[in-house]
Structure 1
Amino acid sequence: MVIAAAHTAVFAGNPYWADWLGGAIRNGTADVGAIATFWALPGSFVPIAILFGLLTVRLGRRGERLPGYAGWVLLGWSLGCAYMVGPSGFLLVLVPAILLIVASLPRFRPDVGDRSAHR
């Protein structure tokens, strides 16, 4: 959620909001800068990242975890995007991706740990 908030702070003060809300992209009158900036903010990962973060927090407060594949998907997405565009904010996504992967490992899950004591 921090990454999404920072992304929003960087791009929110752009001059294209009136064009977007007026339908310039939809009707084909938007310039390249307006289209590129659209994909950097409202059309970007920001809403999904906030939703994903809120879901992660909610599950954590309930003592649950996201499945391990959530971290692996984030890891693959961030590395793939960083490969395509070069060093960028996508590398920051490695932090939550790795944390989610580590949290899903059996040795870090008290509900999956050594069950020999229960036999």
Structure 2
Amino acid sequence: MAITDTRPEPVTSRAWWRSLTAWGGILAMCGGVFHTVVSTLMRQDVWARIADEGFFYVIPLLPSADRLAMAEAFWFSVGSFGVPLLLLGSLVTRLTRRGEHVPGWLGGGVIAWSVLIGLLSGFDGGTLILLLIGTLLAAGAWTTRREPSHR
């Protein structure tokens, strides 16, 4: 019995850009970087205070009134969804470039997450971009499944 190679063929540098999944991954990476950088820059004075205090054990889980600004700065920037969104986008982009399938449930999960955020806090620009990312991932998985080479 011969062992066959089941690894997917890497996609050429031009072809992977045509994938909806790739665009969802790229948008997720850009959104993650943008959110993390901008939210950190918006709280520069607080981050300077955190750095002055030594950076370790500065953010308590239940902050007192004098620590509330530091906790808010943390949870709005690096403790928020920006870093995981960057990592998710990087993984999706890598898988897409290698020609591997990204499951549709991933896009469905991002859609559900963005709808929940929108219902709880309003559908602002960030929530709509998150909804677009989920839609691109789900649509990309659906179109990939329908291609004859992936059956």
TM-score scaled by length of structure 2 = 0.65
Distance 1:94 1:2, change over 3 A: same
- Are 1:26 and 2:60 counterparts? yes
Instruction: Choose between structure 1 and 2 for higher RCO, CA contacts under 8 A separated by at least 6 residues.
Output: 2
Q: Bigger shift: 100-109 or 90-99?
A: 100-109
How far off its partner does 1:64 sit?
1.1
Aligned length: 112
Find the residue that maps to 1:49 and give its secondary structure.
helix
Tell me the distance in 2 between the aligned counterparts of 1:98 and 1:67.
Answer: 12
- Are 1:111 and 2:139 counterparts? no
Gaps (5+ residues) in structure 2?
1-28
- Once the two structures are superposed, residues 9-59 of structure 1 have per-residue CA deviations (whole angstroms, 9 ceiling, x without a partner) of 321221222327253323845532322221111111122111111111110
Alignment match of 1:5 (pick from 33, 37, 41) = 33
Aligned residues with identical type, % of pairs: 29
Q: Please name the residue that 1:76 is paired with.
A: 112
Tell me the distance in 1 between the aligned counterparts of 2:148 and 2:101.
Answer: 9
The aligned runs of 1:27-42 (5 Å cut-off) are: 28-29=63-64, 30-42=66-78
Tell me the distance in 1 between the aligned counterparts of 2:104 and 2:71.
Answer: 35
Tell me the distance in 2 between the aligned counterparts of 1:33 and 1:74.
Answer: 29
Find the residue that maps to 1:64 and give its secondary structure.
coil
**Is the 1:8–1:41 Cα contact (8 Å) retained in structure 2?**
yes
Gaps (5+ residues) in structure 1?
113-119
